[in-house]
Structures are given as C-alpha cells and as structure tokens.
Amino acid sequence: MNYKQLKIFAMVCMVFDHAVRIFPLHQIFAPLADLLWSGGYGGLADWLLEECTLYVMYIGRLAAPIFVYCIAQGFAHTSNVRRYIGRVFLTAVIAQVPYTLFDLAEMRVLGVEGNWRETGLNILFTLALALCVLWAHEELKRRKKLFLSPAVVAAATWLAMALRLEGGQGYIILAWVYYITRNRPRWQKAMLYLPAVLLSRRGLVRWVLESLGTAELTMVLRNCLLNVLGNYFGMLVTLLDNGEKGRAGRSFQGFCYAFYPGHFALLTLIGFLRPPLL
C-alpha cells in the first residue's frame, strides 16, 4: 500500500466514523434485528445490536492513527516545515466552524440540546502541534540535546489537553513515536507501538483498573478495547506502507485539505435536515 492509498483508506475510515454519529449503527441494524426476532433468532438479533455494532465501530478508530502517521511522514519528507505547519493550521481554522456545527448536528439527532462552547478544537490543531514537536525534536538533535525531547512531548501533550484539542491526550505521543521509529524494522515497530498506544490512552486504562470489581466493568472494558485496540490496529495498518508515494501530487494534496472541512459541512447539513431519533 503506497502513501496515497493509505491516506485514502484513512479518509474512508474517518467518514465512516463521523457518519455513524449522524446515522447510528443500532438504527441501521434495527430492521434486520426485527426480522431476526420475528423469525425466532432473538439471540442473533441481540448479538447484531450489541456485539456486531462494536466490531464495526473499529473501522472508524483506524483513521486517526493513520493520519498521525501521515503527518510524521510528511514532516520527514517536507522541504519547508514552516509552510507545512501553516497549511495544516490554516485548514484547522477553516474546519473549526463545520466541526463545531457537526457536533451540534449530532446532538440534535440524539435529541439533546448542544452547546457550541463545549466543543473542543479539531484534530488538525493537534496535528499542527505534533509537527511543532517534531520540529523541536530535530532542533534538539542538531544541538545534541535530544534527551530533552521527551520533555517537549510531555509539555505539548499537556498543552493539547489544556486547549481541549481532539486526541490531545495521546496523538502527540503517537506522532513522536512514529517519527523516532520510522527507520526500524516492522516487527520492532509493532512491538513499540503497543506501549505507545497504552501510554497515549492511559486515562482509559486507568478507568478500567479503577472499575475492577464494579458493575460497570463490562461497559468500561468495551469502551477501552474499542479505543485502545482500535488505535493499535490503526498503527499496525501503517506498517503496510511500502514507502512509495503514489500519484499524490498537488491536486490530491489540495483535495485532502479541502475534504476535511467539506465532509463535516455535508454531514452537518444532513444532521440538521434528518429527523431526530425517537
């Protein structure tokens, strides 16, 4: 899989992840579940609505770690870091309005009154900050002070959380790990990615440990598996990158930048037009 194909795959997963927030899976599977119940297959119907929906949701969780990987790769190959960061940051600013409206549209579909002030900043702000971290990493390397790089990652992660950036708790860490392991063999990457994703999702892991022996453990564990294993599976997908760029010229690059705010705008429109869930 070349770089262009990997990015297209990530965009498909992202659209799925956001589309099911406007068209929830349990609503999509409901007609088939009703058919199974009427045919005497109640157990299969329950599995479809409970277990199958969880497995399908893994598709959407693959997107973010792949995009973070693409950012790290983009940094490694860009000829102008400042311009690269500027493009990502400008797109983040443009996307924030449709991103916020999309959040409100989801609340409307669910029958909940949304508040735009509660919406954080979109993931492109996180990726722009990750680029700054990688830039600082290279500067520290040049000055032979690379031992300070983890402190920069920790500070940026704290800043991302303070500013309520999407994925701020962990995606900075993943970008840094992608970058510093980029020349290692694939089997080593697969091993190093696991502690990296556990560290990036340490809040969920701690939530599971705190829930041991409680009635809500099953629900907490399912949530943790979806968000931890989902991210890890996404990191493993990046190992399929064959190192080729593919036909990813400026037109494709422009399409990718426009696609992010554009798909939010389209899903927002659908969300405000469709009837709320009963």
Taking CB atoms within 8 Å and a gap of at least 24, the contacts of 22-29 are 22/105, 22/106, 22/109, 22/267, 22/270, 22/271, 22/274, 24/109, 24/277, 25/53, 25/56, 25/57, 26/53, 27/277, 29/53
Taking the CB of residue 187, how many other CB atoms lie within 10 A of it?
9
pLDDT mean across residues, the chain: 89
pLDDT for position 278: 64
pTM metric for this prediction: 0.90
CA distances (Å), origin 230, targets 18, 33, 98, 225: 15, 25, 26, 7
pLDDT at 22: 92
Q: Which pLDDT belongs to residue 9?
A: 95
Give the model's confidence band at 63: pLDDT under 50 very low, under 70 low, under 90 confident, else very high: very high
Percent of the chain past pLDDT 90, that is, above it, reads: 60
Amino acid at 137: H
Residues 66-111 have pLDDT tens digits of 999 999 999 998 889 999 999 999 999 999 999 999 999 999 988 8
Supply the DSSP string of 1-47, one letter for each residue: --HHHHHHHHHHHHHHHHHHHHS-HHHHHHHHHHHHHHTT-HHHHHH
* pLDDT number for residue 219: 72
Provide, rounded to the nearest whole percent, the portion of the chain with pLDDT above 70: 97
| Per-residue confidence (pLDDT) for residue 190, from 0 to 100 | 95
Mean pLDDT of 183-206: 89
State the pLDDT at residue 3: 87
Residues 130-145 have a mean pLDDT of 96
Q: What is the pLDDT of residues 9-60, one digit of tens each?
A: 999 999 999 999 999 887 887 778 788 888 877 778 777 777 777 778 889 9
Site of tokens 């009154």:
113
pLDDT of 114 > 90? The answer is: no
d(CA 20, CA 3): 26
Ranges of each domain in the chain = 3-273
Backbone angles phi, psi at 80, to 5 degrees: -145, 95
Burial class (CB in 10 A: 0-12, 13-18, 19+), 73: buried
Nearest alpha carbon to residue 22 among 119, 103, 117: 103
For the chain, what's the residue count? 278
In this prediction, residues 228-254 reach a mean pLDDT of 87
pLDDT of residue 11: 96
Instruction: Show the CA angle centred on residue 64, arms to residues 225 and 189, nearest 5°.
Output: 75
Taking the CA of residue 73 as centre, how many other CA atoms within 13 Å lie in the half-sphere pointing to its CB?
18
Other C-beta atoms lying within 10 Å of the C-beta of residue 199: 15
Q: What is the average pLDDT across 126-130? A: 97
Q: Using the predicted structure, report yes or no on whether residue 215 has a pLDDT greater than 70.
A: no
Q: What is the pLDDT of residue 178?
A: 96
What's the whole-number mean pLDDT along residues 134-155?
95
pLDDT of residue 15: 95
